[in-house]
Amino acid sequence: MGRMIDGAWQADDGPGGDVATDGGWRRTPSVVRHQVAAGGPFPPEAGRYHLYVAWNCPWAHRVLLARAILGLEQALPASVAAPLRTDRGWVFDASGPYRDRRFGATALHEVYARGDPAYTGRVTVPLLYDTVADRLVSTESADILRMLCTAFLPLAEHPQDLVPAAALDEIDALNARIHAGLNNAVYRAGFAETQAAYDEAVDTVFDTLDMLEARLADRRWLMGAALTEPDLRLFPTLARFDVAYHLAFRCSRRRLVDYPKLWRYARRFHALPGVAGTVHFDIYRKGYFSASAKRNPLGIVPVAPDISWDLAAP
Ligand SMILES: N[C@@H](CCC(=O)N[C@@H](CS)C(=O)NCC(=O)O)C(=O)O
């Protein structure tokens, strides 16, 4: 996959990687975690920051959802990397939808090197970049999402409080459960290298989906009547479930469409203004089934499941 050492791109992963010795899979922690906040070194200002994303990435997707739902497209411009990673990592075309609209970079690692000439670590999306200070601000999607919901809110065209203070503890606890039990657990299932590691991860995935199905029995959104941040963190995993994780990551006990409440909830979310424009099922399928020596050596992409998200949201 590649990474950077002292600001230079290295095509090989080197020792360490993401796989632990027990056959389980561990996510590498994000290393750049500055905060946009009024009165700080990174103040919220329309047009000052640039967002780098890729359509396939579920972590970037949560940030794109906040940007679309809150109406931050003008205040926070974005560039979308080409869907398939290469031996140069995430790359951009010279023109068209997958170009770097801010710096004209040919690969995302050039932007990382520009913002931190000594950067060492993975080159991931989403990336929040300060174009005034010419610095990397954050490579952590959970932090960027929270900043959009708070510090960037005065710049929003459709402001709404997605992290109400009175519910903050419950929101943080639910976010943590959804992250460990679903957002990250599907990757632990898909990247497991032993049967035991896979069995544990896939049980966690379906226990969490069962918990969420029960939770939605009497509520419209995860926290009740109002949409909140945990809904934005759940949706990217649901959107990829049947088209990718079900087969590619062997999360095969049930499909999303087999959960009546969750499926209705997912379609309701998909119908919110701005959301459908962030969803690209074909890109998910081709991305998760791209050729991989371990997971899909022949690179054959399965046919799309016959599922319509366009039903009127109940
Ligand atoms: N902790 C990061 C993880 C982001 C992440 O893993 N992004 C993937 C795409 S889905 C990526 O860019 N991977 C490139 C790599 O690891 O080399 C976040 O949540 O923002």
Whether 298 maps to a domain, the answer reads no
3-state secondary structure of 202: helix
Where do the DSSP E strands lie in the chain? 3-5, 8-10, 49-53, 78-80, 127-130, 135-138
Q: What is the pLDDT of residues 199-247, one digit of tens each?
A: 999 999 999 999 999 999 999 999 999 999 999 999 999 999 999 999 9
Residue 22 Cα to ligand 1 midpoint, Å, equals 22
Residue 81 Cα to ligand 1 midpoint, Å, equals 13
Whether residue 21 has pLDDT greater than 50: yes
Whether 311 maps to a domain, the answer reads no
Task: In whole angstroms, give the CA distance from residue 113 to residue 103.
Answer: 12
Cα separations in angstroms, 237 against 11, 178, 183, 190: 28, 10, 6, 13
Question: Is residue 48 in contact with ligand 1, taking CB distance under 6 Å?
Answer: no
Whether residue 175 sits in one domain with residue 53: no
Whether residue 180 sits in one domain with residue 132: no
Q: What is the pLDDT of residues 125-170, one digit of tens each?
A: 999 999 999 999 999 999 999 999 999 999 999 999 999 999 999 9
> How many structural domains does the chain have?
2
Whether 73 maps to a domain, the answer reads yes
Of 61, 84, 120, 122, the residue with max ligand 1 atoms within 8 A of its CB, to mutate for a pocket test, comes to 122
Whether residue 178 sits in one domain with residue 145: no
Residue 119 tokens read as 């950067």
Whether residue 285 has pLDDT greater than 90: yes
How far, in whole angstroms, is CA 307 from its chain's centroid?
22
Q: What is the CATH number of the domain that holds 126?
A: 3.40.30.10
Q: Does 265 participate in catalysis according to the annotation?
A: no
Separate counts of helices (H) and strands (E) for the chain = 10, 6
Whether residue 102 sits in one domain with residue 54: yes
Give which of 32, 186, 200, 198 is closest to 116, Cα–Cα: 32
Whether residue 138 sits in one domain with residue 60: yes
Asked if residues 144 and 61 have their Cβ atoms less than 8 Å apart, the reply is no
Catalytic site residue from 187, 198, 245, 284: 187
Highest mean pLDDT: which of 5-14, 23-32, 90-99?
Answer: 90-99
Whether 142 maps to a domain, the answer reads yes
% of the chain exceeding 70 in pLDDT: 96
Band of residue 25 on the pLDDT scale cut at 50, 70, 90? confident
Band of residue 16 on the pLDDT scale cut at 50, 70, 90? very low
Residue 139 Cα to ligand 1 midpoint, Å, equals 8
Cα separations in angstroms, 241 against 106, 151, 183, 264, 296: 31, 31, 10, 14, 18
Whether residue 149 sits in one domain with residue 14: yes
Q: Does 251 participate in catalysis according to the annotation?
A: no
Question: Is residue 145 in contact with ligand 1, taking CB distance under 6 Å?
Answer: no
pLDDT at 295: 85
More reliable by pLDDT, 154 or 29: 154
Least confident of 19-23, 113-117, 261-265: 19-23
Whether 314 maps to a domain, the answer reads no
Question: Is residue 188 in contact with ligand 1, taking CB distance under 6 Å?
Answer: no
Task: In whole angstroms, give the CA distance from residue 254 to residue 262.
Answer: 12
What lies within 8 Å, CB to CB, of 149 at 6+ separation is 66, 70, 161, 162, 163, 229
Whether residue 263 sits in one domain with residue 125: no
3-state secondary structure of 86: strand
pLDDT at 199: 98
Q: Tell me the pLDDT of the chain averaged across its residues.
A: 95
Q: What is the pLDDT of residues 256-277, one digit of tens each?
A: 999 999 999 999 999 999 999 9
pLDDT at 313: 46
Average pLDDT, integer, range 161-189: 98
Average pLDDT, integer, range 11-37: 77
Whether residue 151 sits in one domain with residue 9: yes
Domain span at residue 201 reads 165-288
Question: Is residue 126 in contact with ligand 1, taking CB distance under 6 Å?
Answer: yes
Task: In whole angstroms, give the CA distance from residue 283 to residue 304.
Answer: 11
pLDDT at 14: 63
Band of residue 20 on the pLDDT scale cut at 50, 70, 90? low
Q: What is the pLDDT of residues 41-65, one digit of tens each?
A: 999 999 999 999 999 999 999 999 9
What lies within 8 Å, CB to CB, of 16 at 6+ separation is none
pLDDT at 314: 47
Residue 27 Cα to ligand 1 midpoint, Å, equals 9
Band of residue 15 on the pLDDT scale cut at 50, 70, 90? low
Asked if residues 83 and 54 have their Cβ atoms less than 8 Å apart, the reply is yes
Whether residue 250 has pLDDT greater than 70: yes
**In this structure, what is the dihedral angle of CA atoms 134, 140, 146, 147, given to the nearest 10 degrees?**
0
Question: Is residue 124 in contact with ligand 1, taking CB distance under 6 Å?
Answer: yes
